[in-house]
Amino acid sequence: MTNAALDPILDSILAIRDLHAWYGESHVLHGIGLDVPEGQVVTLLGRNGAGKSTTLKSVMGIVPRRRGSIRLGGAETIGLRPFHIARHGVAFCPEDRGIYATLDVKEHLELPTRVGDHGLSTEQVLDLFPHLRERLNSPGTKLSGGEQQMLAIGRTLRTGARLLLLDEPLRRAGAQHRGTDRRHYSPPQGAGIHHPAGGAEPALRHGCGRPVLSDRPRPGGGAL
């Protein structure tokens, strides 16, 4: 990730500067900076514990203690709560998928609130992930791990968000779907940022956009 002192890219959907984040007393992010320009998919790469998931959660406002600047489309969001950040056109797909036992596949896909005009229809999601069409009336937790991953990603694509935050989207998606065109992970007139499971090699092999390398957080450093 780039040094926090860099000038912002004018057409960036997301601009992070001097971002710090804590879990309790644990200082996880140390002054990082990152730009995600319009129309790009950015992949975070790095070792376990380097702060990749924390970066995504910080953008979404899920990490309660943050300091620095996170601008979405030019608007400062560092002090906003997650539901306000979502209204700026951001959607987050967590690593744990957030699948509900009481909802079937169709209900999961109908659940998201639209935060933009470019979300996929339910039919488009089912065309992208045809296995979900076969399981349309199945409870979410009765799906396989890979099917749950497809459902979580499909639900995120339904929101119409301009910025998608995907935490390990290929982790359990299944070999037949890991080659899915990465353009589906970037909304029209938008951008995406994620970190994949398995490190750099699978991410680059499957064309997961511009890679950003991260390292263990260091006090005074500008990178993760």
CATH number for the domain spanning 144: value is 3.40.50.300
Whether the predicted pLDDT of 18 surpasses 60: yes
Domain, as residue range, for 157: 2-213
- Would the pTM count as exceeding 0.85? no
On whether residue 224 sits in a domain, the answer given is: no
Q: Taking 90 as the threshold, does the pLDDT of residue 190 lie above it?
A: no
- Percent of residues, the chain, with pLDDT higher than 90: 58
Amino acid at 201: E
Residue 137 belongs to a domain: yes
Instruction: Please state, rounded to an integer, the average pLDDT across all residues of the chain.
Output: 81
95-150 pLDDT, tens digit each: 989 999 999 999 999 999 888 888 999 999 999 999 999 999 999 999 999 999 99
Has residue 222 been placed in a domain? no
Number of domains forming the structure of the chain: 1
Residue 223 placed within a domain? no
Give the CA angle between residues 103, 106, 109 to the nearest 5°. 90
**199 falls within a domain:** yes
* Within-domain flag for 20: yes
Q: Looking at residue 173, what DSSP letter applies?
A: S
Alpha helices in the chain (DSSP H): 52-60, 82-86, 105-110, 122-128, 130-134, 145-157, 200-205
Q: Is the pLDDT of residue 49 over 90?
A: no
Instruction: Confirm if 88 and 164 have CB atoms less than 8 A apart.
Output: no
**CA 121 – CA 128 distance, rounded (Å):** 11
Residue 218 within any structural domain of the chain: no
In a domain, 220, yes or no: no
